[in-house]
Structure formats: C-alpha cells, structure tokens
Structure 1
C-alpha cells in the first residue's frame, strides 16, 4: 500500500461512477446478446426455429437516466438556469423481421446473425475501451500529469 493511502472510507469505489455503471450494463447486455445470437446460429438448420434477439439497449437513455444525471447548480443569481433535454423526446423504432425464412419455416438468416454478432463485438469493445480510457485519466490525475 502506498504511503498516505488508507484502507476504508478513503478508497474510491469505481463501480459507483456513472461511466463504469453504464459500461458494465453495456458489457452485460453484449454478453447476453452474444449468447442468444450464437444460439440462433447453432439452430440455423432447425425446422420452424425463430431467431431471437435482445431489445436494443438505449445507451443515450442510460446516460441521462435519473441515477446518472449530473445536476447543475446555479452559483450566482445572474446565471441562467440549466434545462436538461427530455430523454423521451425521440422514439426508436425497430425494423420488423424476419426478412426471409426457409421452406421448413426456419427464420435464421446466417448473414444477418453474423452481422449482429460483429456489431455486438464492436459494442463490447467500445465499452471496454471507454473504461480503459477513463481509468487512464483517473491514473493521470492521481499520479500527476507527466
């Protein structure tokens, strides 16, 4: 343990930071989606199998949710009050699928599933890169910029 650092209440719990919570949620979602998409690919030849997917995670809503919202405070009466955007202003519409199905009723389109797997991998990678960058900024602040 470094001098000046005490164990207990003075330690920083990174899991309580909003960015880490959002990244964890994104990674959990991507992990679960990866399992479901892999199951779809495994059942590509199963008659009457319907492909499954998770509802898209709205990262924007997650970022402005009440728990993660940073509150601005007026420090002077002459300052303008802040107005937070309404997170429910825009509505996301998902495309209807299946786009096609085989003669035996199987609705798994391998190209579509592979594309979704790639997209999911990229989203997971993005979340891990955000965590790495945020950690490097915290380290830079705690150690002092060099």
Structure 2
C-alpha cells in the first residue's frame, strides 16, 4: 500500500525543478558582468525525461532538420546558450529576462508549496480523525 498519492510525488518533482531553475537563474544574475559567460536555462523537457525515465524525441520530417540535443551539466536539464551575446564582452545574460524568470519561478514555487501544504494538512486532518 502506498502511503502518499502520486500527487505528492509529482509535487516533489516540481519543487526539484523549481529549485534547479532558481539556482540557474541565480548563477546567471551573479555572472551578469563576467566576460564570455554564457547564460544557462533549465529545460523542462530534460527534467521530465529524467523523472519519467522516458525519452522524448522530435520527429524530423527531413534529414536536413536539426536534432534536438542539450549540453551536459551537474544539474538535470541545464543547458547553455552558446551562440548568443547581449554584451560587447561576450556575456549572454539579459538581466531583465533573468529577473522576469526569477519572479515567474517564485510564483510557481509558492503555488507548489501551498498545494503540498494542503495535501499534508489533509493527511493531518485524517490522522486526527477530522478534528
């Protein structure tokens, strides 16, 4: 018998994704003035593949189409953007975009924590016998 539903497991994986995204955004903001630093981003697709254990590939209708690949990183789903430059020093961090991503991720994280708290409160109510 499973103690927790799949919802709690799914929320846990979503919190891990949000945490990884927060770390990457923080690294990008911290390196905004570092010459030749290339901004990174967390790929939802790569994180989903890791969690589900399934491999998803885009179907190419022509051999000339590009394959979808990502670069390896210590965090799951993190990929760099190698061919983008926003500054004359080779840095590819767009501070406005990073701050917007930070705010979006914070809202996502807050929604997840509220949902998981609701799940645990429901369990607590059941354990107490509805009191």
TM-score range, shorter chain: 0.5 to 0.7
Q: Which has the larger radius of gyration?
A: 1
How far apart, CA to CA, are the structure 2 residues paired with 1:115 and 1:138?
Answer: 35
Out of 5, 19, 43, the residue aligned to residue 55 of structure 1 is: 43
1:97-112, aligned counterparts within 5 Å?
101-112=86-97
Question: For structure 2, which runs of at least 5 residues remain unmatched after alignment?
Answer: 53-80
Bigger helix share: 2
Query: Once superposed, what is the RMSD of the aligned Cα atoms?
Result: 3.1
Question: For structure 1, which runs of at least 5 residues remain unmatched after alignment?
Answer: 1-8, 66-96
Out of 27, 39, 54, the residue aligned to residue 15 of structure 2 is: 27
Bigger strand share: 2
Runs of at least 4 residues of structure 1 off by over 6 A? Answer: 97-100
How far apart, CA to CA, are the structure 2 residues paired with 1:27 and 1:141?
Answer: 25
Aligned residue pair count:
101
Determine which structure has greater relative contact order: mean sequence separation of CA pairs < 8 Å that are 6+ residues apart, divided by chain length. Answer: 1
TM-score, normalising length: structure 2: 0.62
